[in-house]
Amino acid sequence: MEMKTHDPAVATDLPFPRQYGTELLVISRGKGVWLQDIAGKKYLDFAGGIAVNALGYGRSDLAKVAAQQMRKLNHVSNLFTTEPALALARLMLARGPYKFASVFFGNSGTEANEAALKYARLHSLRTKGPGHDRLLCFENGFHGRTFGALSCTPSAKYQEPFQPLVPGVLVAPYNDVDALKRVLDDQVAGVIVEVLQGEGGLSTMTPEFARALSEGCRKAEAILIADEVQTGMGRTGTFYGSEGVGLEPDIITLAKPIAGGLPLSAVLIPDKVERLIHAGEHGTTFGGGPVTTAVAAKVWELVSEPGFIQRVRQRGEFLRKELEALKARHANVGTLLGKGLLQGFDYTGGEVKDLLSRLQARGLLALRSGTNCVRLAPPLIISEAEISKGVQIIEEGLT
């Protein structure tokens, strides 16, 4: 590929749609929490593949599992099943504190949320009858880019080019108990919500709102969907983010970290929904393939080890202290947001994209969230020394 920029690691003659921009950094390899571009420059990764690479890069244990399974069996479609898929599903169903009856495997977070929304409407149709088909989502939420998930992502920049979208979607303010009570009634089939808004500015659900949402959905017989695509599997300091705020979901959707960087998602389904699903009402060709589920079982095992989540919680507390010290030194560091190893801050010193570019130039990769928020989502295996190094680079970028 011919490079047309002064940076030999940035590709400008991209064979991709313009939705990805006009230039991209070309990454060649990674180890631990570090990445390297094709020119040999190293980057401390505070982006984690957008909260995907929870266990970091260059892992021989995950590579071994994938290679062994590829030699045995790579794909069979949804007409059959495989031992790795069954083993992973059983692992997931055995985990508390929530009780689920079955797992639907897909390929992405969007696909998981799309399936969950379909299940919510199906449940309402078969228990409450026609006319109880509304879906409720919340301001600044992000649930995906297919039509159903996009319809529950109330942002003009995402929605307007594709109007009209799926009808019957209600939007309420996040963390507003009074507004929730006004809109959540028995006409609502399902409610989809993030316990920490990864793309929408890192707002965290309050325990009061979690309680009102759980109670309101039970009263309205609406299916409560916790979108844990970004917060599931330890990211916020509890295995499910819902645990940390006291939310009691009917369905949980998982994706990003589940298979160590391979495409896999899961919808955890309760018995009251499972028993209403008929054969053929939903499906996928690639979801739950033997390679991705084999790797995912290893990831699940590692994240479930005693002490892993506790270490994530400790690293999250350390990161918050580092950010608090940074905020005390810099007026352009605004409100600190998020929890666990999904944190950030409002940037008040200009355009956040310019700050992210300066950080990249200094060897740190970070993310944007909301309008002008810096989002930090490093691999969960990051050390305190690496956290301090990353915050040091952020300080250099700020000044």
Residues 6+ apart with CB under 8 A from 19: none
- Tokens 């929870």 sit at which residue? 54
Read off the pLDDT of each residue in 71-86 and give the average, rounded to a whole number: 95
Q: Which amino acid is at 138?
A: F
Share of the chain above pLDDT 90, in %: 92
Residue 202: burial class (beta carbons within 10 Å; 0-12, 13-18, 19+):
buried
Nearest alpha-carbon partner for 34 in 53, 15, 16, 9:
53
Nearest alpha-carbon partner for 37 in 2, 1, 10:
10
pLDDT at 14 over 90: no
**CB contact at 8 A, 195 and 244:** yes
Q: What is the DSSP string of 48-67?
A: HHHHT-TT-B--HHHHHHHH
Read off the pLDDT of each residue in 310-337 and give the average, rounded to a whole number: 97
Q: What is the pLDDT of residue 116?
A: 98
Q: Is the dihedral of CA 171, 269, 261, 228 positive or negative?
A: positive
Q: What is the pLDDT of residue 5?
A: 46
C-alpha neighbours within 13 Å on the C-beta side of residue 106: 20
Alpha-carbon gap, residue 99 to 111, rounded angstroms:
22
Q: What is the pLDDT of residue 260?
A: 96
C-alpha neighbours within 13 Å on the C-beta side of residue 277: 20
pLDDT at 57 over 80: yes
Q: What predicted TM-score, i.e. pTM, was given to this entire model?
A: 0.95
| pLDDT tens, residue by residue, 86-126 | 999 999 999 999 999 999 999 999 999 999 999 999 999 99
Domain architecture of the chain: domains with CATH: 10-59+307-398 (3.90.1150.10), 73-303 (3.40.640.10)
Tokens of 75: 């794909």
**Do the bridges between strand 10-11 and strand 24-25 make them parallel or antiparallel, or are there none, so unpaired?**
antiparallel
Q: What is the pLDDT of residue 11?
A: 80
Residues 6+ apart with CB under 8 A from 85: 105, 288, 289, 290, 293
Alpha-carbon gap, residue 377 to 367, rounded angstroms:
8
Query: 60-72 and 290-303 helices cross at what angle (nearest 10)?
Result: 150
Mean pLDDT of the chain: 95
Read off the pLDDT of each residue in 120-149 and give the average, rounded to a whole number: 96
β-bridge mates for residue 103, sequence order: 268
Nearest alpha-carbon partner for 133 in 146, 119, 115:
119
